[in-house]
């Protein structure tokens, strides 16, 4: 039997995430207790292409989704019949990949006779901070830094996000992935660049920090990526081969990373000052980066702001962060039967 909002019975949610290259399912309660969170990564399938191949991602989601759901239910020690609500990230992302999750969620909700809730993947990245904190974090400035997005939001509640500014070209994670390809560090690029940078000198190259002294809350990482390419290969970029291990490569990685970190920390500081808010919540894969976490901590301390960054497992794509669905459930904001995947948002 379905428990309605406001009754004493616990409602169990099953959430699905298939927006990019992680197939994920999670079980949580209407009190935001996460009972299980399972993520099947497709990294190995995409590595030899140096990036996510949409068609491969969709097919891998098709293969993995039901086993991942079974695993999430088993780890939560409940069965499908106990599920009172199904949630799914339906936007933004790769359209074919999103469709797998949306179709499965619709079928499950219809088959079980329970409500379906559509959740925005970017909003969920911010909500991951709320989950990890175990207490209210709103109102706050939200920074989402992932492979697909780099944007600052004013978040008055978990469900109201006003865009303060985003990237004009590449997302920060995309820049990490492209620079990793230039340096021959493999895929996914973020963790590889971070590892390489640990042995490098962040001041070896003075790479551009776009808009850093400009009040606009916008980002641009494409010029930075090009600057790394020229610093690495000189003018002859067409015949260039990756530099191979050594100090040169480590210095390029460290100098690149330091430019990204400086810009992200400065823009967060400007957003806190502009909004007058004293809380910063950070989500998305790039927030797993340790130098970024350290820089944001130092900045927030100086500004007298509280910083919320989830543990690594909640930074990268997962379905537990879709617990944002509980907020919508409380409002009765259910998805229509003809819910569709929406690849674009913003």
Please give the residue ranges that form the binding site for Zn ion (CB under 5 A).
146, 317
Q: Which of 65, 50, 73 is nearest to 19 (CA)?
A: 65
Closer residue to Zn ion (CB): 146 or 257: 146
CA distance 82 to 70: 13
Q: Choose from ligand KG4, Zn ion, none: what does 196 bind? Cβ within 5-8 Å by kind.
A: none
Closest CA to 141 of 28, 269, 9: 269
Contacting ligand KG4 within 16-75 (CB under 6 A) = 20
Residue 343 interface partner, choices ligand KG4, Zn ion, none, CB cut-off 5-8 Å depending on type:
none
Nearest to 88 by CA among 344, 323, 316, 343: 323
Query: Taking CB under 6 A as the rule, does residue 176 contact ligand KG4?
Result: yes
Q: How far apart are CA 66 and CA 25, in angstroms?
A: 9
- In the complex, the smallest distance separating the C-beta of residue 8 from ligand KG4, rounded to whole angstroms, is 36
**Tokens 């069965």 correspond to what residue?**
79
Whether the CB-CB separation of 286 and 292 falls below 8 Å is answered with: yes
Rounded Cα distance between 116 and 335, Å, is: 5
**How many residues interact with ligand KG4 (rule CB under 6 A)?**
20
Q: Give min distance, CB of 257 to Zn ion, in A.
A: 20
The option from ligand KG4, Zn ion, none interacting with 165 (CB < 5 to 8 A, set by class) reads none
Binding flag, residue 92, ligand KG4 (CB under 6 A): no
What's the CA gap between 146 and 15, in Å, rounded? Answer: 20
- Give the SS3 label for residue 230: helix
Say which entry of Zn ion, ligand KG4, none residue 200 contacts (CB below 5 to 8 A, set by partner kind). none
> Under 8 Å CB-to-CB from 94, ≥6 apart: which residues?
19, 20, 52, 54, 57, 58, 343
- Is 177 annotated to bind ligand? yes
Is residue 202 at the binding interface for ligand KG4, with CB under 6 A as the rule?
no
Per rule CB under 6 A, is residue 188 in the interface with ligand KG4? yes
Segment interacting with ligand KG4, rule: CB under 6 A, options 4-12, 157-165, 182-190, 264-272: 182-190
| Binding test (CB under 6 A) with ligand KG4, winner from 96, 101, 142, 190 | 190
CA distance 57 to 244: 30
Q: Which residues of 147-162 are buried (b: 16+ CB within 10 A; e: fewer)?
A: bbbbbbbbbeebbebe
Here's the x/- map for ligand KG4, 155-174, by CB under 6 A: it reads as: ------------------xx
Judged by beta carbon, residue 194 or residue 317, the one nearer Zn ion is 317
Using the contact rule CB under 6 A, the part of the chain among 98-106, 142-150, 272-280, 331-339 near ligand KG4 is 142-150
- The binding track of 286-315 with respect to ligand KG4, each residue x by CB under 6 A or -, is x-xx--------------------------
Looking at the Cβ atoms of 90 and 146, the one nearer to Zn ion is 146
Number of Cβ within 10 Å of residue 216's Cβ equals 12
Q: In this structure, are residues 63 and 56 in contact, taking their beta carbons and an 8 Å threshold?
A: no
Residue 12 CB, shortest distance to ligand KG4, in Å, is 25
- 189-197 and 172-182 helices cross at what angle (nearest 10)? 70
Residues that bind ligand KG4 in the complex, under the rule CB under 6 A: 20, 146-148, 173-174, 176-177, 188-191, 194, 284-286, 288-289, 316-317
């Amino acid at each position: 039997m379905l428990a309605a909002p406001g009754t004493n019975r616990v409602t169990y949610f099953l959430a699905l995430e298939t927006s990019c290259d992680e197939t994920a399912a999670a079980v949580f309660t209407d009190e935001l207790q996460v009972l299980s969170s399972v993520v099947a990564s497709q990294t190995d399938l995409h590595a030899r292409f140096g990036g996510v191949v949409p068609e491969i991602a969709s097919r891998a989601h098709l293969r993995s989704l039901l086993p991942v759901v079974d695993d999430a239910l088993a780890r939560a020690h409940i069965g499908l019949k106990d599920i009172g609500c199904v949630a799914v990230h339906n936007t933004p992302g790769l359209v074919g990949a999103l469709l797998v999750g949306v179709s499965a969620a619709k079928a499950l909700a219809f088959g079980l006779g329970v409500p379906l809730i559509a959740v925005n993947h970017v909003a969920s990245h911010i909500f991951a901070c709320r989950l990890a904190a175990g207490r209210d974090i709103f109102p706050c400035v939200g920074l989402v830094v992932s492979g697909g997005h780099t944007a600052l939001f004013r978040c008055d509640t978990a469900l109201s996000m006003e865009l303060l500014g985003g990237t004009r070209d590449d997302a920060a994670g995309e820049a990490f992935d492209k620079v990793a390809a230039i340096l021959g560090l493999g895929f996914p690029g973020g963790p590889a660049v971070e590892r390489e940078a640990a042995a490098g000198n962040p001041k070896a190259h003075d790479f551009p920090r776009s808009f850093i002294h400009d009040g606009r809350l916008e980002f641009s990482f494409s010029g930075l990526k090009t600057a790394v390419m020229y610093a690495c290969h000189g003018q002859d970029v067409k015949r260039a081969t990756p530099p191979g291990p050594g100090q040169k490569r480590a210095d390029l990685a460290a100098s690149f990373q330091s430019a990204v970190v400086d810009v992200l920390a400065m823009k967060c500081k400007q957003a806190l000052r502009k909004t007058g808010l004293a809380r910063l919540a950070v989500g998305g894969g790039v927030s797993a980066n340790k130098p970024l976490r350290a820089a944001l901590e130092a900045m927030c301390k100086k500004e007298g702001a509280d910083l919320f960054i989830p543990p690594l497992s909640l930074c990268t794509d997962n379905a537990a962060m879709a617990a944002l669905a509980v907020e919508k459930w409380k409002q009765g904001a259910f998805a229509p039967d003809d819910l569709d995947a929406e690849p674009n948002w913003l």
